[in-house]
Chains A and B, each alone.
Chain A
Amino acid sequence: MKTENQKAWFFVLPVLLLVAFNALIPMMTVVNYSVQETFGDNVFFWQGLDWFEQILRSERFHASLGRQFMFTFLILIIEVPLGIAIALSMPRSGFWVPVCLVLMALPMLIPWNVVGAMWNIFALPDIGLLGYFLNHVLGIHYDMTQDPIAAWVTIITMDVWHWTSLVVLLSYAGLVSIPDAYYQAAKIDGASNWSVFRFIQLPKMKTVLTIAILLRFMDSFNIYTEPFVLTGGGPGNSTTLLSIDLVKIALGQFDLGPAAAMSLIYFAITLLVSWLFYTLMTKDDLN
């Protein structure tokens, strides 16, 4: 006989608690802050959508958002083609495969703040290896603490160094899954190397590339530690990305309301762009 009860729900309870503590409660706290003003002592005043309006109208926010998009755009436009190119030139079999894979994975194993500190020292104009080499050997004036362009070049180079490997490894996984027969068929059809790339390799890599780009977009859009350790957002505000600005408002100025509103807007933008990108990339597969 069948006994009807709701005991199965108990199985879901642990997950529910976990999600509540690590996502729902913090998120709702932020929502709570974003619509109120507080002067401490747990005294809150209802503020409505004022903070959102203030942030969306703020030129400072527009500027950091612009820098953020610029940063993400630049690293994607460099890392994706570079990663594919490296993956294509990696050996498919033999002794060098594990060597290449380990070398590729190394940068990703280094903690973010260490990467920032490493590049900071590396780039110091007079004692850093890179800074010294550029200034005193090649004679190029390079000082990222003074020159915004130098600072940008450095954070972009750092990110490319740190994260191109992710694109490489994912593209490589896509490439090695292509059976030899496809390459043979293409050769027999008389296809050039470019056609093989365009019509065999790229389509086969599409799924993993979508994931790679999505991951790189989200990671770079939310990046904080590395540029903070490297440049601290300077010189001036030239490398103050969205997350650095957010921390300045929240912890520097202790403007919790505007910071909370900004967090939610930030979150919404990340979500929206990721969703748009994913939907566009997988549209073909659904029909």
Chain B
Amino acid sequence: MTLELHNVTKRVGANLHIKETSLVLEPGHFNVLLGATGSGKTSLIKLMAGLDPLASGTIKMDGQDVTRLSTQKRNISLVHQFFINYPHMTVYENIASPLKVAGMAKSEIQGRVEEAADILQLRPMLHRRPHELSGGQQQRCALARAIAKESKAVFLDEPLANLDYKLREELRDQLPDLFAGRGAVVVYATSEPEEALLLGGKTALMQDGRVTQFGPTAEIYRNPENVDAASVFSDPPINTARIEKRGDAAHLGDVSWTLSGVAASLADGPYTIAIRPHHVLPLPSDTANVRMPGEVQVTELSGSESSAHFEMGQGSWVSLSPGVHPYQVGETHEFYMDPTACFVFAPDGFRVA
């Protein structure tokens, strides 16, 4: 089973909410849609599910054109950010509902419901109503419905966003196992880069209704093709700056360094660099050796890491380093950047080094 999108667009009034998008999604791993709120993740999922009409393009499931096929006939599942269960039915009836609609025999329904309930640890709650469950259990019930249905495509639209931290981690660890070996195409929408990395598989980066890059998640993280891809896939946000290349040196205001590798062979002129916050450190090292003095504006401490936002030249920068650093807001601190970790983009936004 594969799910293919060919030049798909979605129009609302005069606006294109999804601009020409082509993707081939495969089973066996998670297909993560990663993008900020409003980037078009949910819109794209609704198109794939057949809940909204396409303005143009085709969708194929298993090589068959399903563009005009109604949602009811597509054999898919969707789990929402909000826990959507039928409130007046028990957990058992909720999980069984798509199977009952499909006209499956009672004994088979029971087998499938119990299997799904076991996987999601819902056995003791089968006879409760959704409002008698906790948020995590309600979402597990919605997931169990998707699993019991054994559909060809499963869409998970920020399924963990409304759960508290602990539950989110617990369920996220289980998710890849839940769908492993079921042969379904799993599409997972999230706005958190970290979540995409943890889930693995492939990621499609989304911005302004467009897929900016699609490929194995780790590969995209390591090699963003354009400025947008680099900035979407970074939390805290990636640092970007305009540099001027002259000879084999890069100039950023008063700071300059010697370029190496591919970057050194580029033509002279203006470029944009992007560098992740954990390559800008408060102490020098063999690799982080470009000195950048800046005035500390905001500091944050997140347990094992310290981050500092500082002003240098016209730009605002973020540094993220392991351990606890005693920054003073307002002081001028020296940060050290690793020039080999810089992504270099041409003025049109495409990666050149």
Which A residues form the contact surface with B (CB < 8 A)?
Answer: 179, 181-182, 184-185, 187-192, 195, 199-200, 203
Which B residues form the contact surface with A (CB < 8 A)?
Answer: 46, 49, 51, 70-73, 75-78, 80, 82, 84, 86-89, 97-98, 101-102, 145, 149
Chain B residues positioned under 8 Å from A200 (CB to CB): 86
Q: For the complex, what is the distance from the CA of A11 to the CA of B210, rounded to whole Å?
A: 65
Contact status B101-A182, CB under 8 Å: no
Query: Closest Cβ of chain A: how far from B28's Cβ, in Å?
Result: 22
Contact status A185-B84, CB under 8 Å: yes
Contact for A189 among B70, B82, B101, CB less than 8 A: B101
Contact status B71-A182, CB under 8 Å: no
Contact status A190-B80, CB under 8 Å: no
Chain A residues positioned under 8 Å from B75 (CB to CB): 190
* Given contacts A181-B82, A185-B84, A199-B89, A191 and B101 within 8 Å (CB-CB): yes
Q: For the complex, what is the distance from the CA of A257 to the CA of B49, rounded to whole Å?
A: 71
Contact status A187-B87, CB under 8 Å: no
Contact status B88-A188, CB under 8 Å: no
Q: For the complex, what is the distance from the CA of A137 to the CA of B62, rounded to whole Å?
A: 63
Q: For the complex, what is the distance from the CA of A203 to the CA of B129, rounded to whole Å?
A: 14
* Given contacts A187-B72, A188-B76, A188-B77, A182 and B84 within 8 Å (CB-CB): yes
Query: Closest Cβ of chain A: how far from B83's Cβ, in Å?
Result: 10
Query: Closest Cβ of chain A: how far from B53's Cβ, in Å?
Result: 13
Contact status B72-A191, CB under 8 Å: yes
Q: For the complex, what is the distance from the CA of A187 to the CA of B87, rounded to whole Å?
A: 16
- Contact sample, A vs B, 5 pairs, CB 8 Å cutoff: A188-B51, A188-B98, A189-B97, A190-B73, A203-B88
Chain A residues positioned under 8 Å from B97 (CB to CB): 189, 191, 199
Which residue of chain A is the closest to B101 with respect to CB atoms? A190
Contact status B72-A190, CB under 8 Å: yes
Chain A residues positioned under 8 Å from B51 (CB to CB): 184, 187-188
For chain A, what secondary structure do more than half of its interface residues adopt (helix, strand, loop), or is it mixed?
A: helix
Contact status A187-B71, CB under 8 Å: yes
Query: Closest Cβ of chain B: how far from A20's Cβ, in Å?
Result: 42
Q: For the complex, what is the distance from the CA of A182 to the CA of B101, rounded to whole Å?
A: 16
Q: For the complex, what is the distance from the CA of A181 to the CA of B45, rounded to whole Å?
A: 13
Contact status A189-B80, CB under 8 Å: no
Chain B residues positioned under 8 Å from A195 (CB to CB): 101
Chain A residues positioned under 8 Å from B46 (CB to CB): 184
Which residue of chain A is the closest to B103 with respect to CB atoms? A190
Minimum-distance CB pairs A-B, first 10: A189-B98, A187-B71, A203-B88, A190-B72, A190-B101, A181-B84, A185-B84, A188-B78, A181-B80, A191-B101
Chain B residues positioned under 8 Å from A185 (CB to CB): 78, 80, 84, 86
Chain A residues positioned under 8 Å from B78 (CB to CB): 184-185, 188
Q: For the complex, what is the distance from the CA of A64 to the CA of B70, rounded to whole Å?
A: 55
Contact status B102-A190, CB under 8 Å: yes
Chain A residues positioned under 8 Å from B49 (CB to CB): 184, 188
Chain B residues positioned under 8 Å from A187 (CB to CB): 51, 70-72
Chain A residues positioned under 8 Å from B86 (CB to CB): 182, 185, 199-200, 203
Q: For the complex, what is the distance from the CA of A191 to the CA of B149, rounded to whole Å?
A: 13
Give the one of A187, A190, A191, A192 with max B CB within 10 A. A190
Give the one of A184, A189, A199 with max B CB within 10 A. A189
Chain A residues positioned under 8 Å from B82 (CB to CB): 179, 181
Query: Closest Cβ of chain B: how far from A282's Cβ, in Å?
Result: 13
Which residue of chain B is the closest to A184 with respect to CB atoms? B51
Which residue of chain A is the closest to B102 with respect to CB atoms? A190
Q: For the complex, what is the distance from the CA of A185 to the CA of B145, rounded to whole Å?
A: 10
Q: For the complex, what is the distance from the CA of A189 to the CA of B76, rounded to whole Å?
A: 8
Query: Closest Cβ of chain B: how far from A142's Cβ, in Å?
Result: 46
Q: For the complex, what is the distance from the CA of A191 to the CA of B94, rounded to whole Å?
A: 13
Contact status B87-A203, CB under 8 Å: yes
Query: Closest Cβ of chain A: how far from B3's Cβ, in Å?
Result: 15
Which residue of chain A is the closest to B149 with respect to CB atoms? A189
Chain A residues positioned under 8 Å from B73 (CB to CB): 190
**With A190-B98, A190-B101, A192-B72 given, can you name 7 additional A-B contacts, CB distance below 8 Å?**
A184-B80, A185-B80, A191-B101, A199-B86, A199-B97, A200-B86, A203-B86
Q: For the complex, what is the distance from the CA of A63 to the CA of B35, rounded to whole Å?
A: 72
Q: For the complex, what is the distance from the CA of A115 to the CA of B145, rounded to whole Å?
A: 53
Q: For the complex, what is the distance from the CA of A278 to the CA of B330, rounded to whole Å?
A: 68
Query: Closest Cβ of chain B: how far from A203's Cβ, in Å?
Result: 4
Chain B residues positioned under 8 Å from A192 (CB to CB): 72, 101
Chain A residues positioned under 8 Å from B76 (CB to CB): 188
Q: For the complex, what is the distance from the CA of A191 to the CA of B145, rounded to whole Å?
A: 14
Q: For the complex, what is the distance from the CA of A203 to the CA of B88, rounded to whole Å?
A: 7
Q: For the complex, what is the distance from the CA of A179 to the CA of B86, rounded to whole Å?
A: 12
Q: For the complex, what is the distance from the CA of A41 to the CA of B166, rounded to whole Å?
A: 83
Query: Closest Cβ of chain A: how far from B47's Cβ, in Å?
Result: 13
Which residue of chain B is the closest to A191 with respect to CB atoms? B101
Q: For the complex, what is the distance from the CA of A176 to the CA of B293, rounded to whole Å?
A: 58
Which residue of chain A is the closest to B74 with respect to CB atoms? A188
Q: For the complex, what is the distance from the CA of A90 to the CA of B149, rounded to whole Å?
A: 33
Chain A residues positioned under 8 Å from B101 (CB to CB): 189-192, 195
Q: For the complex, what is the distance from the CA of A181 to the CA of B85, rounded to whole Å?
A: 10
Chain A residues positioned under 8 Å from B71 (CB to CB): 184, 187-188
Query: Closest Cβ of chain B: how far from A209's Cβ, in Å?
Result: 14
Chain B residues positioned under 8 Å from A182 (CB to CB): 84, 86
Which residue of chain A is the closest to B70 with respect to CB atoms? A187
Q: For the complex, what is the distance from the CA of A181 to the CA of B82, rounded to whole Å?
A: 9
Which residue of chain A is the closest to B146 with respect to CB atoms? A188
Chain A residues positioned under 8 Å from B87 (CB to CB): 203
Query: Closest Cβ of chain A: how far from B72's Cβ, in Å?
Result: 5
Chain A residues positioned under 8 Å from B149 (CB to CB): 189
Q: For the complex, what is the distance from the CA of A195 to the CA of B72, rounded to whole Å?
A: 12
Q: For the complex, what is the distance from the CA of A28 to the CA of B214, rounded to whole Å?
A: 81
